[in-house]
Amino acid sequence: MKTFDQEVSDRIAANGANATLQADAAAFMKSSLGPGYSYNFSWMGRPIIQYPQDMVAMQEIIWRVQPDLIIETGIAHGGSLIFNAAMLELNAACGGPQDARVLGIDIDIRAHNRAAIEAHPMYRRIDMIQGSSIAPEIVAQVIAHAAGKQRILISLDSNHTHAHVLAELEAYAPLTTVGSYCVVFDTIVEDTAECCPSDRPWGKGDNPKTAVWEYLKTHAEFEIDQQMDNKLLISVAPSGYLKRVR
């Protein structure tokens, strides 16, 4: 008799070969981005601007990896910072790293967002740096925060141009510990740009997914977690869950 875990694994594998399911998921992604579906959710009172499926995926990864540091580029309203800090708080309550922290980097931490984050109970696990995530002096500060950490998880979700994301990958992906992840958000832009035109400087051929493709050409220590893609189906980060395997 199969174990429950094996049944789950088999279902996820079957998703990858299910053309109808894949097409339905792709159609939902294309139709939901324009109306701003991801803007409808919050975590512990702060807007998180994520799809629930990706939130669940991050919870699974954080529980499995048990990081003592999560590095996150892109803060916005702070929902993801609060989410990550809350997951670390739960890990600690269950015997995980007691002093785990989240480090958020953003080029512009707006005053009202900073005030709300600093007033939140989860702020006790959060540090923030204001500045460009790819500026040498900011990268140096992040590397200093990472010194001595045992398990590091990376989340990249700031400027979505190819050049910027590739520079973030070059700067921060090496900090990812073996068995952990560097998650690149909004790779979906490559697949949906034609149906969601915008005035942003990124689009088809110039976005986080193209940066992932470029980075992986020369970094065999990372692999796309295809099982995660097949599990989620609905995600802003297809091909963006990069697992460090060596």
Over residues 61-71, the pLDDT tens digits come to: 999 999 999 99
Over residues 70-106, the pLDDT tens digits come to: 999 999 999 999 999 999 999 999 999 999 999 999 9
* CA distance readout (Å), 185 to 36, 155, 166, 188, 194: 16, 7, 13, 8, 18
Q: Taking 80 as the threshold, does the pLDDT of residue 196 lie above it?
A: no
Q: Taking 90 as the threshold, does the pLDDT of residue 59 lie above it?
A: yes
Percentage of the residues of the chain whose pLDDT score is greater than 70: 99
CATH code of the region 4-244: 3.40.50.150
DSSP string, 128-166: EEES-TTSHHHHHHHHHHHTT-SSEEEEE-S--SHHHHH
Q: What is the pTM of this model?
A: 0.97
Over residues 197-226, the pLDDT tens digits come to: 677 889 999 999 999 999 999 999 999 999
pLDDT band for position 164 (cuts 50, 70, 90) = very high
